[in-house]
Amino acid sequence: DDETSTAKVLTNDGLVGEILLRLDCPACLVRAAIINKRWLHNASDQAIIRSFRAKQSPHLLGIYVCSDDFSQPEFVPMPDASCPELAVALRHGNFNFPDMDSLLLNVWDCRNDGVLYEFGESIHAALAPAVRTPLRHPGEDTVVFPPQPSNTWPAECPHAMLLPDDDGDDSSCYRVDIGNKNQKVYARVLVLRAGSWSIHCSALADLARSPEKILTVTLLMRGKIYMLTRAGYILALDLATARFSIVDLPEGVEFEYHGNLTSCRGDDSALYLFHVKGDKLTVWLKRMNEHGDDGSRNGDWVLRDTISLLETCGHLVEQDCEPADGQEDGVSVVGVGDNAEFVFLEFVGTGVIVYMHLKSRNVKKVYQRNPDNDFVIRVLPFVMVWPPIFPEHGADMKVTDCIKTQE
């Protein structure tokens, strides 16, 4: 009969797996996972997870607004979240740091539902890095890393700390120490793996052109670290060979001030570059070949977008904002999304931060800077990937991952 046939299908792991592979809605996969342990086992299968994620674009939940004045980072939800799953995640997620009000806090990176940060009791204290996963239960959402090795480099603080960018990377965190004197550049990269810090690589090189200053804009992509320089090129460090190389900028693109140049990672080793000059925002794409003939030649820069900021964002900036005293008009790129999907722009004169979706040109005002704060602002997007990480078999299901998605 029909009930017997249905039961045979729903208790057959192979057939259930085929059914789950054909689901399109994130909530449906989560609801399937909480039916029973058999279905949880099927929904947790890595082949199903990979297939499902390939069909689902990540969802931008909100942003961490950080300032270099040592103030607490602020989590700002994205306005007008239309997806029910996003609203539930925002309602139940533990995004802020209320238990650390007395500590200095610096958010370094956001990736794969995790927030990498460090804190200490004073500026001179040894900082301890940690990762918070806001969508997990309180008490289970924070992992504090072991203390970092003593730093014998001239600078006391790392240049950058980064989360791994590859699901196949078994490391927890990378620390980048870098410095330069004239044309000589040196770097040390530490890696945290299996609860222990070790030196991943050290590099030293005499460059053809001095970087002048290596900017804090740093990203990790496919085993290479890319850093913008004030000299007007991108400095690349290959973690496998411990070698530096220079990536020239597109013709006509140059460093002018902090925020007029920002890079972001893309799929298939694509490097994106945002450039602001006057009213114009341009977005460039360059394919970083992993196996070039001589290891040095990559694809040419391709202009992907040219956008008039006055036409797209002018109405948001002019709504109720006048330039603050002493502030000059100008635009800075303060945050970007992978694959150049979106960008956050600060209109410096008014302190307005605007979100722009590149493909649709949809723009929203998301933040208003305090007019008395003249420090550099950074925006780190918090992007939720689907499906969420399911708990270990036999463990309690996460509220934000499973039960609440049925609301």
Residues with Cβ within 8 Å of residue 220, at least 6 apart in sequence: 162, 163, 164, 165, 174, 226, 265
CB 89 within 8 A of CB 136: no
Does residue 404 have a pLDDT over 60? no
Is residue 147, in this structure, part of any structural domain at all? Answer: no
Single residue among 248, 275, 304 that ends a domain in this structure: 248
Residues with Cβ within 8 Å of residue 268, at least 6 apart in sequence: 287
Q: Which of 351, 401, 404 is nearest to 141 (CA)?
A: 401
Span 39-81, pLDDT tens digits: 777 777 767 666 666 666 678 889 999 887 667 788 999 876 5
Residue in the structure block whose two tokens are 């609440």? 404
Does residue 211 have a pLDDT over 70? yes
Instruction: For residue 166, give Cα distances in angstroms to 118, 191, 224, 349, 382.
Output: 22, 14, 12, 38, 17
Domain with 12 in it? 2-50+395-406
Single residue among 195, 230, 248 that ends a domain in this structure: 248
Instruction: For residue 334, give Cα distances in angstroms to 63, 278, 314.
Output: 11, 16, 18
Tokens standing for residue 334: 């303060």
User: Total domain count for the chain?
Assistant: 2
- How many other CB atoms sit within 10 Å of the CB of residue 395? 10
Is residue 301, in this structure, part of any structural domain at all? Answer: no
Is residue 276, in this structure, part of any structural domain at all? Answer: no
Is residue 375, in this structure, part of any structural domain at all? Answer: no
Single residue among 208, 225, 248 that ends a domain in this structure: 248
pLDDT of residue 214: 93
Does residue 258 have a pLDDT over 60? yes
Tokens standing for residue 320: 């109720």
- If one compares 355 and 60, the residue with the highest pLDDT of the two is 355
Does residue 324 have a pLDDT over 60? no
Is residue 331, in this structure, part of any structural domain at all? Answer: no
Is residue 367, in this structure, part of any structural domain at all? Answer: no
CB 333 within 8 A of CB 344: yes
Does residue 300 have a pLDDT over 50? yes
Q: Which of 55, 142, 47 is nearest to 100 (CA)?
A: 142
The answer to whether the peptide bond before residue 387 is cis (omega within 30 degrees of 0) is yes
Q: Indicate left, alpha or beta for 147 from its phi (over 0: left) and psi (-120 to 50: alpha).
A: beta
Q: Which of 25-39, 136-150, 273-287 has the highest mean pLDDT?
A: 273-287
Is residue 230, in this structure, part of any structural domain at all? Answer: yes
> What φ, ψ does residue 217 adopt, rounded to 5°?
-70, 105
pTM for the structure as a whole: 0.80
Tokens standing for residue 205: 């090189």
- The C-alpha atoms of residue 167 and residue 165 are separated, in whole angstroms, by 7
Is residue 199, in this structure, part of any structural domain at all? Answer: yes
